């Protein structure tokens, strides 16, 4: 998907905000009709019935008729597709869209093809009832049949053309690499190369000022805007790092093995419940922020898309405790965060690189010390054989 920075004028900005409000209104109204249904009642209206209702509503309400029918109908189409994805089990249940959070609309059809290049750095796109809006031409515009206009919390407009890019080719030399993800060292490769995610700029000071500001005041709005801008800057730096790192690795190796980490489960809160309160909640929260700030999931997702068919996921169980030299498994071999010294063969290496070498070999150690790549572990308890 090609995403570009949109630069509308003040008059065009007002029209884009109105389009976002109408799309959000149609989505929430369709969701309300769907939520009101329960077993025993007639089925909730589908897209065709809701389109007829939209036509009737536009004839009654002038503010709705002043908007773009294309934007409003596409919001109903998007909601209908979201329902189908939910029932298919591929996506979550559709939720309410909120002002300031879900700001955007989609254009599909011949109108989405009206794009003109103005110069080497600028182009313009036609938006219904808005006119030609300029955007920054940072890369060639892909051939797409739809685009989506969004407004982020930092007040920046973007346009994204829906197009699936081609996967990146590998070097075709049979090279294999393993990637170990961590907090101190974001990416450690089996050949000794490391990639470090950028450090986020601190937002604590602005968060404290926001907590002390009076709700609804202008001061609170200014602080909130500054905080959103700083968080957007951190997110842009993290995304830029993930894109560049995944591109470099996808072009440098033929087969890429990476840990199959459940990042969502790893970053769950340790707060617990009232009956069973959690322990070391603050420490776990700090670890969660460090993991999320490293962009593990973003990197893995983009790597899988760029090196499609060349990425294998390996179980991360005990890969940091296995010696990549002799294969001995011992927790005592991990001397520190950076040092690995095997207690059996005295093999010494960087701890993260040693784990990456195990991942590159596809070795995942089971709880009993065996290799996960075989059917039975090497170290098994003795069993009695009964002769018949």
Catalytic residue numbers read: 180, 259, 352
Please give the Cα distance from 72 to 25 (Å, whole number): 8
Pairing of the two strands 146-151 and 131-136: unpaired
Residues in the chain: 388
Take residue 360 and report the two structure tokens written for it: 């590159």
DSSP, res 67? S
3-class state of residue 350 by DSSP: strand
Please give the Cα distance from 214 to 221 (Å, whole number): 10
Please give the Cα distance from 229 to 240 (Å, whole number): 16
Across the beta sheet with 157-161, the strand order is 104-108, 146-151, 157-161, 2-7, 131-136, 122-127, 115-117
Please give the Cα distance from 23 to 19 (Å, whole number): 6
Contacts of 86 (CB under 8 A, 6+ apart): 92, 93, 94
């Amino acid at each position: 998907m090609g995403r570009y920075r949109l630069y509308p004028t003040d008059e065009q900005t007002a029209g884009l905000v109105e389009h976002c409000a109408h799309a959000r209104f149609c989505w929430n109204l369709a969701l309300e009709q769907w939520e009101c249904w329960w077993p025993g009642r007639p089925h909730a209206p589908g897209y065709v019935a809701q389109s007829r209702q939209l036509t009737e509503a536009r004839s009654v309400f002038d503010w709705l008729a002043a908007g773009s029918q294309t934007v409003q109908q596409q919001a109903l189409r998007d909601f209908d597709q979201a329902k189908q994805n939910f029932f298919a089990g591929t996506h979550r249940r559709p939720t309410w869209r909120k002002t300031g959070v879900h700001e955007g609309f989609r254009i599909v059809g011949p109108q989405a093809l009206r794009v003109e290049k103005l110069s080497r750095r600028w182009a313009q796109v036609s938006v219904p009832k808005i006119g030609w809006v300029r955007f920054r031409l940072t890369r060639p515009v892909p051939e797409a049949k739809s685009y989506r206009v969004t407004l982020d919390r930092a007040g920046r407009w973007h346009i994204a053309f829906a197009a699936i890019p081609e996967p990146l080719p590998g070097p075709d030399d049979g090279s294999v690499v393993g990637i170990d993800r961590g907090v101190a060292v974001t990416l450690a490769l089996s050949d000794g190369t490391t990639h470090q995610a950028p450090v986020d700029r601190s937002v604590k000071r602005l968060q404290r000022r926001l907590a002390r500001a009076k709700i609804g005041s202008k001061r609170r709005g200014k602080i909130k805007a500054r905080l959103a801008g700083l968080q957007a800057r951190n997110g842009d730096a993290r995304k830029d790092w993930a894109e560049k790192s995944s591109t470099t690795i996808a072009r440098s190796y033929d087969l890429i093995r990476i840990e199959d980490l459940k990042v969502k489960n790893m970053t769950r809160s340790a707060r617990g419940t009232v009956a069973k309160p959690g322990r070391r909640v603050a420490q776990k929260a700090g670890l969660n922020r460090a993991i999320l700030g490293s962009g593990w999931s973003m990197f893995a997702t983009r790597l899988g898309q760029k090196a499609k068919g060349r990425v294998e996921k390996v179980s991360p169980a005990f890969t940091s405790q296995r010696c990549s030299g002799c294969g001995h498994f011992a927790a005592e071999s991990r001397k520190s965060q950076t040092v690995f010294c095997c207690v059996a063969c005295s093999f010494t290496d960087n701890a993260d690189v040693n784990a990456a070498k195990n991942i590159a070999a596809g070795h995942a150690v089971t709880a009993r010390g065996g290799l996960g790549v075989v059917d039975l572990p090497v170290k098994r308890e003795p069993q009695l054989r009964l002769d018949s």
